[in-house]
Copies of this chain bind each other. A is one copy, B any other.
């Protein structure tokens, strides 16, 4: 495991180790190498590759220059869900997030958010999509918020590694700003941010409950679920809160079963 050693403040150092950059479906291996170099220059070390199209490849190592250790340590996984399963905060970099109802941050805000979360013990992922097509809508659904680099609207096509460089630069500045802050904040486990997997479990049960109480009434469920995901992701839930909400859902599901077995037929 490659440990970033470029932060003198122990909190920033620990936080930097909880930041990962996830590249999804990268087409050109040169971009993977250049992204690794961009990360290492900014004192970051964790690279996760989701189903890269052409990797490993010599071109990646060539463009990585002295950052080949990051490539050697990079994890390769099959899906974005695998890459972020243990994350409390997942930020998706996108040209524009109008397609999905995601809160959108500028790189500087996103970096403050990411470093703040990582400094209090959270695992954080910054996710970058394919060169041509970016992230799919399904992949964006796995993100808590979007990051948008305020590019020229007439030519917004940043190279993938250039986008990684900009975000890594802002992360480094945010980590360096922390250097004054001395103490780590100790968060009780119950109040720790809910993990990505626990949030997904909650959303799954929420969807089942909406079906059970006949919320959709023939409408397509996608739009409501998208809005609800956005809403609960905004709320920044902790583990205790997720358990509370799931308890309520369980009771609503129980009530719906009861209604179905006893009295539903007469009304619907």
Contact = CB atoms under 8 A, between A and B. Distances in A.
Interface of A: 4-6, 34, 37-38, 40-43, 65-67, 149-159, 161-162, 165-166, 169, 172-173, 176, 209-210, 212-215, 224, 227-228, 231-232, 234-237, 240-241, 244-245, 247-248, 251-252, 254-256, 258-259, 261-264, 266-267
B244 A237 contact: no
B255 A266 contact: no
Given A154-B6, A261-B263, A262-B262, A254 B162 contact: no
Given A162-B34, A176-B150, A255-B252, A157 B263 contact: no
Contacts of A214: 251, 255
Given A158-B165, A227-B241, A234-B235, 7 more contacts: A6-B152, A150-B176, A151-B172, A162-B162, A169-B169, A258-B264, A262-B262
Nearest to A149: B169
A244 B263 contact: no
A227 B236 CA distance: 13
B67 A155 contact: yes
A214 to B, nearest CB: 6
A256 B176 CA distance: 53
